[in-house]
Amino acid sequence: MSKVKLNLIAAACENMGIGTNGTLPWRLKKEMAYFTTMTTQVSDPTKVNAVIMGRRTWDCIPDKYRPLDNRINIVMTHNVDSVKENVPEGVIVVPGLDEAISYIEKRPDIEATWVIGGSSIYKAAMTHENCGKIYLTEIQKSFDCDTFFPNIDKQQFHLVDEEKIPSEKQVEGDISYYFRVYKRL
Ligand code: FOL
């Protein structure tokens, strides 16, 4: 059994929506900065983190931000060959989560692994034995969405207090949200 822990990170609104029409339903500058910090920061400066995403999530990242800087970008797809032709060199393309984990196991320079969506990838990671914590930003508003965060089984995952993560309500314009962390029992 591998020691690769999968940390999930997502922002979801009241109806658990995470996306619409291939984009994020909101624009929250500080929330995005939190995503960048969490997925990038390492305690060992000789290491880097990996981000695992589905092909649609790859597509939703603006061209100028992809691949995501200072992180090993791993894209999951059922069409490895065709996607490989359409991503820059250095981006790892794999057919599934187990192949992503195998790749990470062979890279001792990877410190932490972040699963960054979307729905089907979050679901696969949440039910995987290597699933660690879920970093969920709970946005206190409803948006029209066509993609949703999977149900969190509260028998399996419980809310924890994390040092370093602000526990107070965050406010950006007319939108407020909380940074929550769930840990598997
Ligand atoms: N988790 C959280 N907490 N918030 C999110 O918005 C979020 N988004 C995704 C996955 N997990 C999340 C997937 N969508 C970028 C764009 C979309 C996206 C993830 C990342 C992106 O372009 N990120 C850049 C910074 C962009 C900016 O500063 O505007 C990066 O370097 O991280």
**Distance of CA 108 to CAs 44, 47, 49, 113, 134, Å?**
12, 8, 11, 12, 23
Q: Helix, strand, coil: what percent of the chain each, to 5?
A: 25, 35, 45
Range(s) of the domain holding residue 163: 1-20+126-185
Residue type, 170: Q
* Spatial separation of the C-alpha atoms in residues 3 and 173, rounded to whole Å: 41
Q: Return the ligand 1 atom nearest residue 33 CA.
A: 28
Q: Which residues are catalytic?
A: 24, 31
Residue 28 covered by a domain: no
Residue 36 covered by a domain: no
CA of 35 to the centre of ligand 1 (A): 6
Tell me what pLDDT residue 164 has. 92
What average pLDDT values come out for the chain (185 residues) when binned by 10 residues? Answer: 94 98 97 98 98 98 98 98 97 98 97 98 97 98 98 96 95 98 94
Residue 96 covered by a domain: yes
Residue 172 covered by a domain: yes
ipTM (interface predicted TM): 0.99
Residue 35 covered by a domain: no
Residue 38 covered by a domain: no
Tell me what pLDDT residue 74 has. 98
The count of domains in the chain is 2
- Co-location of 104 and 131 in the same domain: no
CA of 6 to the centre of ligand 1 (A): 17
CA of 1 to the centre of ligand 1 (A): 30
- Co-location of 132 and 177 in the same domain: yes
Q: Return the ligand 1 atom nearest residue 60 CA.
A: 17
